[in-house]
Structure 1
Amino acid sequence: VVLVVGNPANTNCLIAAKCAPSIPKENFSCLTRLDHNRARSQVAMRCGVPATQVKNVIIWGNHSSTQYPDVHHCLVNISGSEVPCYDAVKDDAWLQGDFISQRGAAVIKARKLSSAMSAAKAICDHMRDIWSGTPEGEFTSMGVYSTGNSYGVQKDLIYSFPVHIKDKSFKIVDGLPINDFSRSKMDATAAELIEERDTALAFLDL
Structure 2
Amino acid sequence: MAKFVVAGKTDCPYYAKVELLADALQQSLPNFKTRKISIPPDEWQEWLENTCKKNGWRHDKSPLVWRELVEDGGKGMFLGGFSDFLEHCQDYYSITSHMSTDLMLSVAAENLETEMNFVREEQRRISLIKPLHIWISSALNPTCQFLITNLLCTEMFPHATAISLHLLDLGGDEEGLQGLRMETEDLALPLLHQVIIHTDLEQAFLEADIIILLDEMWSAENDENKSEDEKKKKIKDISARYQVYGSLIDARANKEVKVIVTGDSFASLKCSLLVDKACSINSRQFVTMATQLENEARAILANKLKVKPSDIKDVIVWGNISGSFYIDLQRAKVFNYNGAIRGPSFFSQSVLQIFHDRKWLETDFQDLVRCQHSAVASKTCRAAVMSAANGILTVLKAWNGNCGPDEVFSLGVLCPGYYDLPESVILSVPVTFADGKWSVLFDVTVEEELKERLQLSASELTQEIKSSIPGNKRKTTE
| TM-score, length of structure 1 as denominator length | 0.90
Distance 1:147 1:140, change over 3 A: same
Q: Which amino acid aligns with 1:87?
A: Q
| Per-residue Cα deviation, 1:79-110 (whole angstroms, up to 9, x for no partner) | 43422222222211111001112235444236
Give the Cα separation in 1 of the matches to 2:458 and 2:369. 18
**Which residue of 6, 15, 26 maps to 2:273?**
15
- 1:144 is aligned to 2:144: no
Give the Cα separation in 1 of the matches to 2:315 and 2:401. 19
Give the Cα separation in 1 of the matches to 2:467 and 2:388. 27
The aligned counterpart of 1:90 is: 356
The aligned counterpart of 2:123 is: none
Shift of 1:13: 0.4
- 1:37 is aligned to 2:295: yes
Give the Cα separation in 2 of the matches to 1:2 and 1:65. 21
Q: CA RMSD in A?
A: 2.1
The aligned counterpart of 1:124 is: 393
The aligned counterpart of 2:260 is: 3
Shift of 1:193: 1.5
Q: Which amino acid aligns with 1:71?
A: L
Give the Cα separation in 2 of the matches to 1:204 and 1:154. 14
Higher relative CO (Cα under 8 Å, sequence separation at least 6) belongs to: 1
Shift of 1:157: 1.0
**Which residue of 39, 44, 64 maps to 2:322?**
64
Shift of 1:63: 1.4
Give the Cα separation in 1 of the matches to 2:357 and 2:391. 27
Give the Cα separation in 2 of the matches to 1:101 and 1:65. 12
Structure 1 residues 167-206: aligned runs within 5 Å: 167-202=435-470
Residue segments in structure 1 that go unaligned for 5+ positions in a row: none
Q: Which amino acid aligns with 1:97?
A: T
Give the Cα separation in 2 of the matches to 1:65 and 1:83. 31
Give the Cα separation in 2 of the matches to 1:38 and 1:73. 17
Based on CA coordinates, which of the two structures has the bigger radius of gyration? 2
Residue segments in structure 2 that go unaligned for 5+ positions in a row: 1-257
Give the Cα separation in 2 of the matches to 1:133 and 1:154. 31
Give the Cα separation in 1 of the matches to 2:376 and 2:390. 20
Shift of 1:167: 0.7
Shift of 1:5: 0.8
User: Larger deviation: 21-30 or 188-197?
Assistant: 188-197
Distance 1:107 1:59, change over 3 A: same
Whether the 8 Å contact between 2:271 and 2:287 is mirrored in structure 1 is yes
Give the SS at the match of 1:99: helix
Shift of 1:74: 1.2
Shift of 1:123: 0.9
The aligned counterpart of 1:163 is: 431
| TM-score, length of structure 2 as denominator length | 0.41
Whether the 8 Å contact between 1:60 and 1:69 is mirrored in structure 2 is yes
The aligned counterpart of 1:25 is: 283
Whether the 8 Å contact between 1:10 and 1:159 is mirrored in structure 2 is yes
Shift of 1:35: 0.6
Whether the 8 Å contact between 2:319 and 2:429 is mirrored in structure 1 is yes
| Per-residue Cα deviation, 1:27-48 (whole angstroms, up to 9, x for no partner) | 0001211111111222222111
Whether the 8 Å contact between 1:159 and 1:190 is mirrored in structure 2 is yes
Shift of 1:205: 8.8
The total of aligned residue pairs comes to 205
Percentage of identical aligned residues: 24
Distance 1:175 1:123, change over 3 A: same
